[in-house]
A and B are shown apart, each in its own frame.
Chain A
Amino acid sequence: MFVAIRDLRFAKGRFALMGAVVALITLLVVLLSGLTVGLGRGNTSAVTNLTADHLVFEAPPAGQKLDFTTSSVGPSVRASWSHVPGVRRAEPVVVSMTRASGGGRTTAVAVFAVPDGSSLAPGGVNGAGEAGAPGGVAADRVVLSAGAAAALDVTAGDRIDLDGQSVTVGEVSGTDEFSHAPVVWAATANAPASGLEPGHATFLALTTGDAERPAAGAEGADGADGSAGVGSDAGANLGADLAAADQRLGTVTLTPAESVSAIGSFSSENGSLQLMRALLFAISALVIGAFFTVWTVQRSGEIAILKAVGASTRYLLGDALGQALVLLLVGTALGSAVAAAVGSVITATVGSAVPFVLDLPTLLVPVVVMTVLGLAGAAFSLRTVTTVDPLTALGSSR
């Protein structure tokens, strides 16, 4: 880094310009990442926050993609899943999009209908979303996410109209959203028309092994609440052969995180945003590569001198890559700092109108990816270093 550091000091203007480009691309990528995560949460948080290990969907016909809107799991399949070794609980969840009215307002909501007292729903006697604890859903008693409550301007104890049914807001809990609509947790009996056959569910939420604590008030196989509780031992095999069960029952089992790909709006939206991010990363690598290509060609005379006085190619490559690393770290740090400031302003002033998430991964991942790809671009351009002939340092008046 001896020459690299001095080059950075000497050619301040050139490196400042390049650093500014890196910082601007980082700013764009971080803002886009924050928006991607924010939009993603608005699409998927109700699914990813589920207190279940796996979700079971009806296997789609050949050539068709798995989708929340087309999956229909019948009662017999549910009963079979409840007896798969290692499965402690297989709870049916009916997902539907509908309108809710209350407080003089109407809003689109996503209804997640679960068995009475299911721990899948937030709220309940032991608090929101605690694994195994009974949730706050009961017949004619719903739990509203904060977004739904705000949109309807209602609080606990108010009554709302949910697809023609008058229900009581038992609690306002959580911030779950699905497909960019705030979530209303309801009992299966209050599930709006979803196009599913009676008794069918969109998916089954599986709890396997000893992932949950004993749930007071939620026990009982095939109880009145509709859940298919199974009295598996706590030490039951957690490595249940889900694939074999899928094969036998014609289902597809995914983790909640994997299941988000079955949300149509998420796949298309996230795909577009990720493509933009990938393009920005590619652009940054190309820009860095182009800069260091020109820079290395300009320095080829000096590289020849250094080689002539005994510098190894490894030394020169390390020196040049170190220079690129410094440039990238400074540029990305600056860009992410500005992005963090902009993100804070957006969050503070616009609030939920812009679904922007500013957290450590949102800031750090772009910085790491930009740095790695930038270094790759620089490394590619620096191959010139290996081909410079030290002989050119002699006998020429440059």
Chain B
Amino acid sequence: MTLQLDDITLTYPDGTQRVTALERVSLTAQPGTLTAVTGPSGSGKSSLLAVAATLIAPDSGRVLLDGRDLSGLSPKETAAVRRERIGIVFQSSNLLASLTALDQLLVIAHLNGTPLSVAHPRATELLAAVGMGDCVGRRPHQLSGGQRQRVTIARGLMNDPRLLLVDEPTSALDSQRGEAIVQLLRRLTVERDLTTLMVTHDERHLQAADRVTHVVDGTLRRLADR
């Protein structure tokens, strides 16, 4: 699935004024590639991810998935797009406290109306694929930061998405475990032909990315292909 952000401008209110978070940003991400979006805090990289995830509608510009324009969809319709076609990997602590690692994945299947008996083998397989096969019954507070992040990645893949959006996957991890997570994302992107867009402020892990986009003050400043 090709993600195309076309001339996106996004502003948000700040007191009596409006602040520009993204200004005429265009970006294309192809299947089987890991695109990193980096930049300092407040640069607009998370806003970029939110727009791509249909969590926020831009003031102008278009978001296209395989050429389908998502602009103008209702909240219900964008929720359905996220539920069926997009995987989102949140920061490490964004797991549901009451759910086991396995349940974190099964809830995604439940949202899609997939019978749990059907979803169970897939969830187990995904947890094993991210190295969490032995921790399926553990809740978030029983997992380390790296383990939580692996569960989050597995959850992001549970609905078999073509587009994977990753938000600061290494922010709560040391460099060694952060590197392992990025390599895992890299591997999954290639193996599953995913279009992966990863927001990170940590430039140590950028070598794993196929493309690197640098965002400064809401505009793309550098685009590096590797």
Q: Do A and B come from one complex?
A: yes
Query: Which stretch in A6-14, A221-229, A263-271 binds the other chain?
Result: A6-14
- A398 to B50: give the CA distance in the assembly, Å: 17
Q: Does B1 contact A (CB under 8 A)?
A: no
- A396 to B172: give the CA distance in the assembly, Å: 12
Closest Cβ neighbor of A395 among chain B residues = B46
Within 8 A of B (CB), among A372-398: 390-391, 393-398
Q: Are A10 and B139 in contact (CB under 8 A)?
A: yes
Return B171 CB to nearest CB of chain A, in Å: 7
Q: Are A310 and B93 in contact (CB under 8 A)?
A: no
Q: Are B46 and A308 in contact (CB under 8 A)?
A: no
A11: chain B residues within 8 A (beta carbon): 98
- A306 to B112: give the CA distance in the assembly, Å: 12
B86: chain A residues within 8 A (beta carbon): 310
Within 8 A of A (CB), among B46-102: 46, 49-50, 53, 55-56, 76, 79-84, 86, 88, 90-91, 93-94, 96-99
Q: Are A394 and B98 in contact (CB under 8 A)?
A: no
Q: Are A308 and B97 in contact (CB under 8 A)?
A: no
- Taking a contact as CB atoms closer than 8 A, the residue among A2, A7, A394 that contacts B90 in the complex is A394
Return A320 CB to nearest CB of chain B, in Å: 13
Q: Are B55 and A390 in contact (CB under 8 A)?
A: yes
Q: Does A352 contact B (CB under 8 A)?
A: no
Return A92 CB to nearest CB of chain B, in Å: 70
Q: Are A305 and B56 in contact (CB under 8 A)?
A: no
Q: Are A394 and B172 in contact (CB under 8 A)?
A: no
- A309 to B80: give the CA distance in the assembly, Å: 9
Within 8 A of B (CB), among A290-312: 301-302, 305-312
Within 8 A of A (CB), among B97-126: 97-99, 103, 106-108, 110-112
Return A312 CB to nearest CB of chain B, in Å: 5
Q: Are A391 and B55 in contact (CB under 8 A)?
A: yes
- Taking a contact as CB atoms closer than 8 A, the residue among B49, B99, B111 that contacts A310 in the complex is B111
Q: Are A394 and B167 in contact (CB under 8 A)?
A: yes
Q: Are A307 and B98 in contact (CB under 8 A)?
A: no
Q: Are A395 and B79 in contact (CB under 8 A)?
A: no
- Taking a contact as CB atoms closer than 8 A, the residue among B55, B97, B103, B159 that contacts A394 in the complex is B55
Q: Are B50 and A391 in contact (CB under 8 A)?
A: yes
Q: Are A2 and B91 in contact (CB under 8 A)?
A: no
Q: Are A397 and B171 in contact (CB under 8 A)?
A: yes
- A390 to B49: give the CA distance in the assembly, Å: 13
- A308 to B50: give the CA distance in the assembly, Å: 10
Closest Cβ neighbor of A390 among chain B residues = B55
A311: chain B residues within 8 A (beta carbon): 79, 83, 111
Q: Are B108 and A309 in contact (CB under 8 A)?
A: yes
B93: chain A residues within 8 A (beta carbon): 397-398
Q: Are B82 and A308 in contact (CB under 8 A)?
A: yes
Closest Cβ neighbor of B172 among chain A residues = A397
- Taking a contact as CB atoms closer than 8 A, the residue among B76, B84, B110, B155 that contacts A2 in the complex is B110
A315: chain B residues within 8 A (beta carbon): 111
- Taking a contact as CB atoms closer than 8 A, the residue among A302, A310, A390, A396 that contacts B97 in the complex is A302
A305: chain B residues within 8 A (beta carbon): 90, 94, 96
Q: Are B90 and A308 in contact (CB under 8 A)?
A: yes
A397: chain B residues within 8 A (beta carbon): 91, 93, 168, 171-172
Closest Cβ neighbor of B81 among chain A residues = A310
- A312 to B111: give the CA distance in the assembly, Å: 8
B94: chain A residues within 8 A (beta carbon): 301, 305, 393, 398
A309: chain B residues within 8 A (beta carbon): 82-83, 88, 108, 111, 155, 159
- Taking a contact as CB atoms closer than 8 A, the residue among A301, A306, A391 that contacts B56 in the complex is A391
Q: Does A3 contact B (CB under 8 A)?
A: yes
- Taking a contact as CB atoms closer than 8 A, the residue among A3, A10, A394, A398 that contacts B49 in the complex is A394
Q: Are B46 and A310 in contact (CB under 8 A)?
A: no
A390: chain B residues within 8 A (beta carbon): 55
A10, A308, A397 — which one has the most chain B CB atoms within 10 A of its CB?
Answer: A308
B159: chain A residues within 8 A (beta carbon): 309-310
Return B155 CB to nearest CB of chain A, in Å: 8
Closest Cβ neighbor of B171 among chain A residues = A397
Q: Knowing A315-B111, A397-B172, A398-B93, say if A9 contacts B88 (CB, 8 Å).
A: no
Q: Are A312 and B167 in contact (CB under 8 A)?
A: no
- Taking a contact as CB atoms closer than 8 A, the residue among B55, B81, B98 that contacts A9 in the complex is B98
Lowest 4 A-B CB distances belong to which pairs? A310-B83, A10-B98, A395-B46, A310-B82
| A and B contact pairs by CB, cutoff 8 A, 26 listed | A2-B110, A3-B98, A3-B107, A10-B97, A10-B99, A11-B98, A305-B94, A305-B96, A306-B107, A308-B88, A308-B90, A309-B111, A309-B159, A310-B79, A310-B81, A310-B82, A311-B79, A312-B76, A391-B50, A394-B46, A395-B50, A395-B167, A397-B93, A397-B168, A397-B172, A398-B93
Kindly list 17 other residue pairs between chains A and B, CB separation below 8 angstroms, not including A3-B99, A394-B49, A395-B50.
Answer: A2-B110, A3-B107, A10-B99, A302-B96, A306-B111, A308-B90, A309-B88, A309-B111, A309-B155, A309-B159, A310-B80, A310-B83, A311-B83, A312-B79, A394-B167, A396-B91, A397-B168
